[in-house]
Amino acid sequence: MSVHDQSNNKKVTVPLLKEMKKQGQKIVALTAYDFLTARSLDKAGVDIILIGDSLGMVFQGLESTLPVTLEQILYHTQAVRKGVSRAMVVADMPFLSYQISEAVAIENAGRLLKEGGANAVKIEGGTHIVPIADKLIKIGIPVIGHIGLTPQSINQFGSYKVRAKEEKEAAELLSAAKALDDIGVAAIVLEKIPAGIAANITSAIETPTIGIGAGNDCDGQILVTEDMLGIFDDFKPKFVRRYANLSDNIRNAVEQYVSDVREKNFPADDESY
């Protein structure tokens, strides 16, 4: 039986992700913040479901991910967990939930697993977060790394432009990826970096890479579900492919409902008691 066949029915775990990389089976990841969406993604065969701090922008209407709190991630993780039986549930650790100290990171990550039901946590950053990630892994908390464009550092970067276009930063990313690989992270998200750099990183490490705007040579791909389904349509990054235009569908359905109610076409006799 191939890894592909196994991954259709086996619970996705850290060892399974690593085996998928070895056998060249692409890893599929999407975000979710609620029970119904998570259930649909899980039934469709998604391997990783991320409760991303992207909820700040696509769920709360904020301008960045920075205001998202641990309690909010915890709440949404609990909801998502109820809808998932197979996929790996990964909770984002929001800004300042892990950077302050190892003790704070351990407590917060532990809550996301113990209270939220997450299978792993995701933390942003390069070599500077390796000691914290290493500590979490050693006490049994799987960690997914995230390098390249890290949205929690938007005030440092100044924009959401492509990272690692210069040789120095590309070398720093490779060093960070190797350091994360050495401590045994479950996967590494590579966000908005040149495809060639992502390919080099992917081939240089044993850890699976999950790309978002990082080309097709990564071991897997992740998108924000609201982007992919066309629900969030304020803007469309280059790396997003819209598989539906649900924003238009929702608006059209609601407009029809408004019309039916006002014209007394709803409810009909067979919809009444």
Co-location of 210 and 93 in the same domain = yes
Co-location of 111 and 186 in the same domain = yes
Contacts for 192-201: CB closer than 8 Å, 24+ residues apart: 192/148, 192/149, 192/160, 192/161, 192/162, 192/163, 192/239, 193/148, 193/149, 193/162, 193/163, 193/164, 194/162, 194/164, 194/165, 194/170, 197/164, 197/170, 197/173, 200/174, 201/173, 201/174, 201/177
Q: What is the pLDDT of residue 92?
A: 98
Co-location of 227 and 262 in the same domain = no
Q: In the 8-state DSSP scheme, what is residue 222?
A: E
Co-location of 205 and 258 in the same domain = no
Q: What is the tally of structural domains in the chain?
A: 2
Co-location of 145 and 263 in the same domain = no
Q: 179 by DSSP, 3-state: which?
A: helix
Co-location of 152 and 254 in the same domain = no
How many helices (H) and strands (E) would you count in the chain?
12, 8
Q: Assess whether pLDDT exceeds 70 at residue 1.
A: no
Least confidently predicted of 61-65, 132-136, 142-146, 178-182:
61-65
Co-location of 212 and 254 in the same domain = no
Least confidently predicted of 2-6, 119-123, 178-182, 233-237:
2-6
pLDDT digit string, tens, across residues 215-246: 999 999 999 999 999 999 888 889 999 999 99
Q: Whole domain around residue 249: which residue ranges?
A: 245-273
Co-location of 163 and 116 in the same domain = yes
| Residue percentage of the chain with pLDDT more than 70 | 97
**Closest listed residue to residue 49, CA positions, set 61, 41, 57, 58:** 41
Co-location of 229 and 254 in the same domain = no
Q: Give whole-number Cα distances, 79 to 32, 47, 115, in Å.
A: 9, 18, 11
CA distance 268 to 265: 6
CB-neighbour burial class of residue 258 (10 A; exposed 0-12, middle 13-18, buried 19+):
exposed
Backbone angles phi, psi at 49, to 5 degrees: -115, 115
Beta-carbon contacts of 244 under 8 Å, excluding residues fewer than 6 positions away, are: 228, 229, 230
Residues 118 and 87: beta-carbon distance below 8 Å: no
Catalytic residues, by residue number, are 191
Cis omega (within 30 of 0) on the bond before 15? Answer: no
Mean pLDDT of the chain: 95
Confidence of residue 8 (pLDDT cuts 50, 70, 90): low
Co-location of 255 and 194 in the same domain = no
Co-location of 178 and 265 in the same domain = no
Q: Assess whether pLDDT exceeds 80 at residue 7.
A: no
Between 262 and 1, name the one with better pLDDT. 262
This prediction's pTM: 0.94
pLDDT digit string, tens, across residues 240-272: 999 999 999 999 999 999 999 999 999 999 999
Distance of CA 40 to the CA centre of its chain: 16
Beta-bridged to residue 125, according to DSSP, are 146
| Residue percentage of the chain with pLDDT more than 90 | 89
Backbone angles phi, psi at 136, to 5 degrees: -60, -45
Reported as type and span, the H/E element at residue 143 is strand 143-148
Co-location of 72 and 168 in the same domain = yes
Q: Assess whether pLDDT exceeds 60 at residue 175.
A: yes
Both tokens of residue 4?
Answer: 């592909």
Q: What is the pLDDT of residue 221?
A: 98
